[in-house]
Amino acid sequence: MIRAVRANKKGFHTAAFTPGVNLILADRSTAAGDKDTTNALGKSTLIEIIDFCLASNSSPGKGLRVEALQGWAFTLELSVAGNDVAVTRSPDVPNFFAIEGSTAGWPVQPTPDKEGVPGLDSKKWRAVLSWALFGISELAPTPGYKPSARSLLSYFVRNQTAAYNTPFKHFDNQKTWDIQVHNAFLLGLNWEKAAIWQQLKDQKNALDALKQAIKTGAVDGELSSLGELEAERLRLNTHLEREREALSNFRVLPQYREIEAQANRLTSEIHSQVNANIVDKRRLERYRASLVGEDTPTTDRLEALYVEAGIALPGAVTKTLSDARAFNQKIVANRREFIAGEVAALEAALTGREAQIVTLTDRRAGYLGVLAGQGALEELTQLQELHAGTRLKVDELTNRITQLRQMTTKSDTIKVETVELKRATILDYEERRALWSQALGLFSEYSETLYKAAGRLVIDIDDTGYKFDVEIAGSPSEGISKMKIFCYDLMLISFARLRGLGIDFLIHDSTIFDGVDPRQRAHALELAAEMSGKYGFQYICTLNTDMVPVNDFSSGFDIDAHVRMRLTDTDPSGSLLGFRF
């Protein structure tokens, strides 16, 4: 139970608390102007200080760890496992909690810091809180999902506005497993079932991610099914067998390069001879055509031309023409003799080359026959490298197929385990009925006190784990939504006391009553006073004075008896810290 909150600065207003209802009011003074406000007097800061001393996470530049609070130290006086202690934490040294008072029986003991002040670090202080308030151990961390002191405390010290949006969450981005595990613990359900559920979800998510990675692996293109992977493996195996056969028949010829060069030289000579033959055949065709188409001039051809022209040739001219005709005949004869000689030479050259081509071709065929089925060492190495690459692809594909089969089997196993987990959870749920039904009964009782019809706390179990909900007639309104949280939290602290847990305080900011009808506010505060007395816990709530429903309380209920501190907007000294923060 919390006894007091104090600080090391004179301007701070120490808050002292007692069992039962404890109200911190922010008064609007009669001297305050219309520009003054009660919204910055320190109501929420007080809750933040309590949470800060209970080892809440604290980031530099946020919350209490700001420049304006350098040099400050806040002290929370409370009872821990029957021992009255004072815990001090400074924003300047947020990882150290100075401890004053008896710590007999604690699972860990304070140790002095460099200045000789006994205390604990954040981890050890949280371990003490887990043990003292909730009966769980955080000293020997174990893998997996489990309740933590800080998450559990956040349902009893709702700090920040986001904690008042839904009963089952204390911040907006709270993970599903966190909601299920911690609410299951607080409601007397088997939280370990919720932890196993999340482990199965993690396995499924990991399998899905791995399966997607495997589908886009070593083989070109995306293969999306086991059948496609098997077909690709068959194709690669066939190719691999062909490569293996080629390697088994391969023979290395030491003189391979020399013989290859000789074969290439012979091929070049053959091409040269063939080209020469083509040229000579064309010349031979022209010579033969010349012999066939050339005629010898007739003896009287020239005279006939003169006669036709009407010109008589003298005797001397006739004699000269006869000599020219004889010379021309000699030239024609000589030309025919030359062409005949050239034709014979060309025919002989062609015949010789044809014979040489046959000889060269036979020699090249011999070289190629030697090379057939044999190769150079570097070619063998290249074939071996290609074969090794194909074998590697086959091995990788085989591994992918094996993995995919294993994942398919694992996926089926997860489905079976999920079904079995759901069955076991339902069975466990029934076995714990006597316990959790008390929580449902308390919620129904509390909601009926505030409204005409009793509300319902619903616990369901589906394929994803525990599902929680609360129902109160008219719940779409903001006020009733806030009262769902109030009834749930009041049920949690009452139920915790019934179960013998060490937690014995519940703290709300004024946000819990935003939009709530004054009559329900009055009923809620009276209910908190009655239940805190019945179950032995402490209820701390901050309110603006104008939110106190003074005209709606039952006769005999003295609200002033529950006021522990009044903050005022008269001047900055009336705020919690002694200055506006």
Contact 413, 199 (CB under 8 A): no
Contact 189, 459 (CB under 8 A): yes
How far apart CA 395 and CA 401 sit, in angstroms, is 10
How far apart CA 258 and CA 367 sit, in angstroms, is 10
CA atoms within 13 A on the CB side of 52: 27
How far apart CA 163 and CA 172 sit, in angstroms, is 8
The burial of 487, by beta-carbon neighbours within 10 Å (0-12 exposed, 13-18 middle, 19 or more buried), is given as buried
- Mean pLDDT of the region 51-76: 94
pLDDT over 70 at 266, yes or no: yes
pLDDT over 70 at 379, yes or no: no
Angle (CA) 319-324-326 rounded to 5° is 100
The burial of 370, by beta-carbon neighbours within 10 Å (0-12 exposed, 13-18 middle, 19 or more buried), is given as middle
Which CATH entry fits the domain spanning 254-375: 3.40.50, 3.30.750, 3.30.110, 1.10.287? Answer: 1.10.287
- Mean pLDDT of the region 86-105: 96
Q: Of all helices (H) and strands (E), which one includes residue 168?
A: none
3-state secondary structure of 314: coil
pLDDT digits (tens, 9 = 90+) for 176-235: 999 999 999 999 999 999 999 999 999 888 888 876 776 665 444 455 577 877 788 888
Phi-psi bin for 36: left (phi > 0), alpha (psi -120 to 50), beta? beta
- Mean pLDDT of the region 429-458: 93
Fold annotation for 2-189+432-574: Rossmann fold (3.40.50)
The larger pLDDT score, comparing residue 399 to residue 262, is at: 399
Mean pLDDT rounded to a whole number for the chain: 84
Instruction: Please give the share of the chain, as a percent, with pLDDT higher than 70.
Output: 82
pLDDT at position 55: 95
Other CB atoms within 10 Å distance of the CB of residue 439:
23
Q: Using a cut of 0.75, tell me whether the model's pTM lies above it.
A: no
Domain ranges within the chain, ordered by starting residue: 2-189+432-574, 254-375
How far apart CA 442 and CA 455 sit, in angstroms, is 10
Please tell me if the domain spanning 2-189+432-574 has the same topology as the one spanning 254-375: no
Closest CA to 50 of 22, 89, 24: 89
The larger pLDDT score, comparing residue 303 to residue 34, is at: 303
DSSP string, 25-56: EEE--TT--TT--STTSSHHHHHHHHHHHTT-
| Cα dihedral 355, 358, 359, 361 in deg (nearest 10) | 150
178-206 b/e (C-beta count within 10 Å ≥ 16 → b):
bbbbbbbbbbbbbbbbbbbbbbbbeeeee
Beta bridge partners of 42: none
Closest CA to 393 of 242, 237, 225, 230: 237
3-state secondary structure of 97: strand
How far apart CA 55 and CA 136 sit, in angstroms, is 16
pLDDT digits (tens, 9 = 90+) for 382-434: 666 776 877 888 887 787 778 777 777 878 898 999 999 999 999 999 999 99
The burial of 369, by beta-carbon neighbours within 10 Å (0-12 exposed, 13-18 middle, 19 or more buried), is given as exposed
Q: Give the phi and the psi of residue 98 in degrees, each rounded to 5.
A: -75, 135
Angle (CA) 191-192-197 rounded to 5° is 100
Tokens of 362: 């036979």
Instruction: Please give the share of the chain, as a percent, with pLDDT higher than 90.
Output: 52
3-state secondary structure of 144: coil
How far apart CA 454 and CA 211 sit, in angstroms, is 50
Contact 22, 43 (CB under 8 A): no
DSSP string, 213-250: HHHTSSSSS---SHHHHHHHHHHHHHHHHHHHHHHHH-
Amino acid at 537: F
How far apart CA 47 and CA 137 sit, in angstroms, is 26
Report strand pairing: 93-101 vs 20-27.
unpaired
